Structure 1
């Protein structure tokens, strides 16, 4: 049935071209149905905000994701809550009991100094795959572009597998203006001299996703994707939506 010429997509156990979904409480029955059809186009699952702590049957949900080859982890807000209450050791034990192998180090709500985050990453990478996040959820807080780039570089050098650029599930902070417009100058600077395959751009809406696909090709890493949108996103990556219609295989911009 493969008769169209489409952009080449990474597949299998991807290291880039990732789709990272945000699970904000999807019921187990619904999740089973979604994964039965779409697990091959989902790579990472963030159990959003701090919801993992109050999610019923969390271990079963984690096991279900892993059964389908998807990497589950808890949202950075839960990490920050544990940091704020000096409960990081308890948090790590909690992750181990759940069988979660990925951990996010973020500072979207708390202003955790970079040196403390780096120290945590050096410690955590011995037992976990670490994802860090850069940027604030506060729409009034502006980080200089140079600070964005310096943080991402240092976080990757410290041992992070990926760095997420903050955008929230609303697409109104971090790499976005309050109105939802992408800060395109910031994005272009972020990938200068940095490996874009190591950056996961939070892109919660179709218009945000299409911006990054047009800029970097079908194999850009995208996060905070709604579970209900994964098939539409894959269609966009494959040039099967009007906005990406003319994107051909040779236009892929990532190695």
Structure 2
């Protein structure tokens, strides 16, 4: 159906307007059924937390995502576990063996200084596409807006493809408070002077997703999306849900 006036949505091998799902243990057979119908709504797939280390049929799942043109990578918690145990070399070798081209560098669980993260990025950016994450999973930690902006700009300048704003899969830390309410003023200040197409906002619930779509347009990058919600999210991006009903081309404020 092509008779409605709807937002100008990016498609194909998108550089922005990304939907990044979180895979927290979707069985291989179920994943195949989901991707057969909905793969064109998905750009990136994160094996959430440290699930990749214990996932059955891991190689088959990685290959399945790649078959459908989706970029798989392992969540930052596994990276931080390897960092804490001084196993980064082994970790990178594992990614190479699995033919995974993307790596996340984060400090959501343990304190890894910005300088240390930048050093790791310099080490890996010639062999991998790097996604960095800013913000803590500890909901008691408050980071000043200036530090958010500084870290994001610095990480992008260091060669990261994208920077993720921490929100957890529950939406209760980082850019959210303990109750799950989004820090709207933080987001509005955060995007000033920063290329929003390079930021992936973790938005695990429809309420969170609708805020970002209404605030930044249909082609905002969203992460930590439940794999079973990708059709609903795309519906929201097209202004075909009550919460985004008034969305139009004029609301697509990210560059096309």
Q: In which range does the TM-score fall when normalised by the shorter chain?
A: over 0.9
Using the alignment, how far apart are the partners of 2:176 and 2:51 within structure 1? 24
1:43-192 residue pairs with structure 2 within 5 A?
A: 43-192=43-192
Residues 161-212 of structure 1: CA deviation (Å, up to 9, x unaligned): 0000000000000000111111111111111100000000000000000000
Using the alignment, how far apart are the partners of 1:240 and 1:65 within structure 2? 27
Tell me by how many angstroms 1:43 deviates. Answer: 0.1
Instruction: Name the residue aligned to 2:215.
Output: 215
Using the alignment, how far apart are the partners of 2:254 and 2:123 within structure 1? 31
- Runs of 5+ unmatched residues, structure 1: none
Using the alignment, how far apart are the partners of 1:246 and 1:149 within structure 2? 30
Counterpart contact for 2:214–2:251, Cα < 8 Å = no
TM-score (norm 1): 0.99
Tell me by how many angstroms 1:251 deviates. Answer: 1.9
Instruction: Name the residue aligned to 2:11.
Output: 11
- Runs of 5+ unmatched residues, structure 2: none
Residues 4-44 of structure 1: CA deviation (Å, up to 9, x unaligned): 11111000000000000000000001000000000001000
Using the alignment, how far apart are the partners of 2:117 and 2:252 within structure 1? 34
CA RMSD of aligned residues (A): 0.5
Using the alignment, how far apart are the partners of 1:116 and 1:139 within structure 2? 23
Using the alignment, how far apart are the partners of 2:37 and 2:135 within structure 1? 34
1:33-44 residue pairs with structure 2 within 5 A?
A: 33-44=33-44
Using the alignment, how far apart are the partners of 1:60 and 1:19 within structure 2? 22
